[in-house]
Amino acid sequence: MRVSLLLLVFLVQSCVLSKGAAAEPQRPNFVVIFCDDLGYGDLACFGHPTIATPNLDRMAAEGMKFTQFYAAAPVCTPSRAALMTGRLPLRNGMCSNKRRVLFPDSKGGIPAEEITIAEALQANGYATACVGKWHLGHLPQYLPTSNGFDFYFGIPYSNDMDRVNDAPKGRAPFWDPKTEYWNVPLMRNSKIIERPADQTTITRRYTEEATKFIRDNKDSPFFLYLPHSMPHVPLFRSPEFEGKSRRGLFGDVIEEVDWSVGQVLDTLRQLELDDNTLVFFTSDNGPWLIFDEQGGSAGLLRDGKGSTWEGGMREPTLAWWPGQVKPGSISRDVGSTMDIFATLHALAGVDLPTDRVLDSHDLTPVLRGAGASSREALFYYRGYQLMAVRKGPWKMHLMTQDAYGPASREAKKHGPPLLFNLEHDPGEQTDIAAKHSDVVESLQAKVSMHLGALVSAESQLESR
């Protein structure tokens, strides 16, 4: 009896000692999978009736689904800059009223003084990679490898740029694959390795590079940013996905992206990194509706890419982290791609920069089911123009402009503003401003405060 008691004491002691002596738990890895022009209604787990997304559905079942999560702009470049910096596009220098996105002849890119998530994590010992569409400048000083990423593989801007044999003006914007093509480069780090990039295999090759990066860095904390070129038009998919989806070409493309998500999550599972890796899945802006069947769907939301109606900016979003994020959970609170910046800082134990205004709110309490984020309001911009504000269920439009399309799409100023209760009316069908003048008044006060605080940021921007 005495011997067994001593043995028990010894076992307990050695257990405590070995626990105490163990290395610090490794900091979590991060993967951000970012689609291009994916609509709120384009995934099965967000209600699409015929597109099959079993891997994303499983990701949702094992993780958290965000039903009110927003991109920071309704178009590529500013949206991506905001994700990278946790700041509104008009603060980070990547927004313009003239050309809303960067083009192959653009000379600019993300300003050197901006801090990207990748820079913050790289400086704190993370291995970092960007695989996919960058679109924050393609000259050497603006490439991912100059902005915190150890490795880059991808098409540096939109896959419809550098078009050869451009369609005559006035013609419907559909492609003739017999005569037209996109001479877009495919880059590895800062070198062009293929031109035109063979886009029929682009999703597959992004996936191979992404999973290789995970395998190569399984022993160090890593940050993988995987911004797919798809489903931005022109649509391409690998031969294995041709004709597979009941939704046609667009469905084939989404189903290949879904396969890609499955590959990434399976790699994490196989390497037993799943309980130490947070994966986000979302998109840069809503569906490009002008392309009819080749564009996606915002589901029950109004309008699409280019617009600050909900369909332009609300995105189907998932977070996955087995053991940390409760399976099958749903967050119906407002979140933004800008929040990923503060969230990854918090989880990596990296202090946020204090020398600049951030628009990023830590989502850690939301992910852990322990509370709400500190975000109080969401501002909808188009270029430098503040178009709308959301606080709680209320959204007030100061101005509206329809999605990119052939029809007249002049911005309309609303005086008095339009007001919608998004929780009752997510499709923004019934303006209830007249019934809720108190709400309009309080949102107008919020707008005045926000615009007042921006003055210094704008002058900072002009000095660049």
What residues are labeled active site?
Answer: 76, 135
Measured from the CB atom, is 29 or 158 closer to Mg ion?
Answer: 158
Residues β-bridged to residue 314 = 70
DSSP 310-358: HHHHB--EEEE-TTTSPTTEEE-S-EETTHHHHHHHHHHT-PPPSSS--
Measured from the CB atom, is 28 or 41 closer to Mg ion?
Answer: 41
Phi and psi (nearest 5°) for 189? 55, -120
> How far is 256 from 208, CA to CA, in rounded Å?
13
Measured from the CB atom, is 80 or 390 closer to Mg ion?
Answer: 80
> How far is 159 from 161, CA to CA, in rounded Å?
6
Piece in contact with Mg ion (CB under 5 A), picked from 16-24, 55-63, 278-286, 420-428: 278-286
Q: Are 182 and 160 in contact (CB under 8 A)?
A: yes
Give the angle 272-278-279 at the CA atoms, nearest 5°. 100
Q: Does 37 bind Mg ion (CB under 5 A)?
A: yes
Measured from the CB atom, is 342 or 387 closer to Mg ion?
Answer: 387
Q: Does 161 bind Mg ion (CB under 5 A)?
A: no
In the complex, minimum distance from the CB of residue 95 to Mg ion, in angstroms, rounded to a whole number: 14
Cis status of the peptide bond prior to 231, with omega within 30 of 0: yes
Q: Are strands 385-391 and 378-382 parallel, antiparallel or unpaired?
A: antiparallel
Q: Does 285 bind Mg ion (CB under 5 A)?
A: yes
In the complex, minimum distance from the CB of residue 305 to Mg ion, in angstroms, rounded to a whole number: 6
In the complex, minimum distance from the CB of residue 421 to Mg ion, in angstroms, rounded to a whole number: 28
Q: What is the DSSP letter of 258?
A: H
Residues that bind Mg ion (rule: CB under 5 A) add up to a total of 5
Give the angle 288-282-56 at the CA atoms, nearest 5°. 105
Q: Does 255 bind Mg ion (CB under 5 A)?
A: no
Measured from the CB atom, is 217 or 337 closer to Mg ion?
Answer: 337
DSSP 91-151: HHT---SSSSS--TT----S-TTSPPHHHHHHTTT-EEEEES---S--SGGGSGGGTT-SE
Q: Does 36 bind Mg ion (CB under 5 A)?
A: yes
> How far is 197 from 48, CA to CA, in rounded Å?
30
Neighbours of 372 (CB within 10 A): 12
Residue whose C-beta lies closest to Mg ion: 76
Measured from the CB atom, is 37 or 274 closer to Mg ion?
Answer: 37
Identify the residue whose tokens are 């191979």. Answer: 208
Q: Does 284 bind Mg ion (CB under 5 A)?
A: yes
In the complex, minimum distance from the CB of residue 232 to Mg ion, in angstroms, rounded to a whole number: 6
Token pair of 103 as six digits? 């083009």
Give the angle 394-396-399 at the CA atoms, nearest 5°. 160
Nearest to 79 by CA among 36, 115, 16: 36
In the complex, minimum distance from the CB of residue 286 to Mg ion, in angstroms, rounded to a whole number: 9
Phi and psi (nearest 5°) for 240? -65, -20
Phi and psi (nearest 5°) for 312? -80, -25
In the complex, minimum distance from the CB of residue 309 to Mg ion, in angstroms, rounded to a whole number: 16
In the complex, minimum distance from the CB of residue 304 to Mg ion, in angstroms, rounded to a whole number: 11
In the complex, minimum distance from the CB of residue 453 to Mg ion, in angstroms, rounded to a whole number: 28
Token pair of 363 as six digits? 């989502």
Q: x-or-dash pattern for Mg ion, window 63-92, by CB under 5 A?
A: -------------x----------------
Q: Does 42 bind Mg ion (CB under 5 A)?
A: no
Residues near Mg ion (CB under 5 A) are: 36-37, 76, 284-285
